[in-house]
Amino acid sequence: MSIKVNSKACYGCRSCELACSFHHQKLFSPELSSIKVLTSMRTGNIKWSIDSTCDSCEGEEQPLCVKYCLYGALKEVA
């Protein structure tokens, strides 16, 4: 299973980073997140990356980034 980003739906709020870091370390920190979102207000660009530390939130009912994506921009795919 992996996480897929729908770029058109994302507003760049970065809630996914927090949900992810909490899954890994029980802390809120974008640096501890497997998913990285770079939201630039200057250019309007939003960039994403998901690194190899993503385990699709093993042990959770659904990946927390998907659960807490406020815009429906993330989904889990096989």
Partner 1 sequence: MNTNKISGGLAGKILRIDLSKNQISTEDTEKYARRLIGGRAINSLILLNEMNPKAKWSDPENMLIFGVGCLAGTLAPGACRVSIDTKNAFNNGKGSANFGGHFGPELKYAGFDHVVITGKAKTPIYLWIHDGEAEIKDASAIWGKTTSETERLLQEELGDDRIRVASIGPSGENLVRGSAIIGDCGKAAGGSGVGCVMGDKKLKALAVRGHGAIKIAQPEKFFEAVDTALEKVKASPTLKAFRNGLVDSVFGPESTRWDGFAITRNGQDDYWPVEKREKLTGKKIGVAKYRKHLVACFGCPAGCMPFFEIDDGEYKGTKGIGYWVNSAWYAVRMDVDDTAASLKFQLLANELGLDGDMATVALSWAFECYEKGLITKEDTDGLELTWGNADAMIKMAKKLAYREGIGDLLADGVKEASQKLGKGSEAFAIHMKGQDSVDAYRVFKGWGFGLSTSPVAGRHLRGSVSSPSGMGPKKGLEWSTYEYENIPDVVFWQARTKEIEDMTGICNYVGTWAGTRALEVSDYAALISSAMGIEITEEELMLLARQSINLEKAFNTIHTDFERKDDYPPRRYMEEPVKSGPCAGAKCDKDKWDEMLDRYYELQGWDKETGWQTGKCLTELGMDDVADRLQKVGKLK
Q: In b/e form, how buried is each residue of 51-71, taking b as 16+ CB within 10 angstroms?
A: eeebebbeeeeebbbbebbee
48 binds partner 1 (CB under 8 A): no
Q: Is 42 exposed, middle or buried (0-12, 13-18, 19+ CB in 10 A)?
A: exposed
**Nearest distance in Å: CB 59, partner 1:** 15
**Distance (Å, rounded) from C-alpha 31 to C-alpha 61?**
24
Tell whether residue 70 is a contact of partner 1 (CB under 8 A).
yes
Min. distance of Cβ 15 from partner 1 in angstroms? 5
Is residue 65 a contact residue for partner 1 (CB under 8 A)?
no
Residues that bind partner 1 in the complex, under the rule CB under 8 A: 11-15, 18-19, 21-22, 25-32, 38-42, 44, 46, 68, 70-71
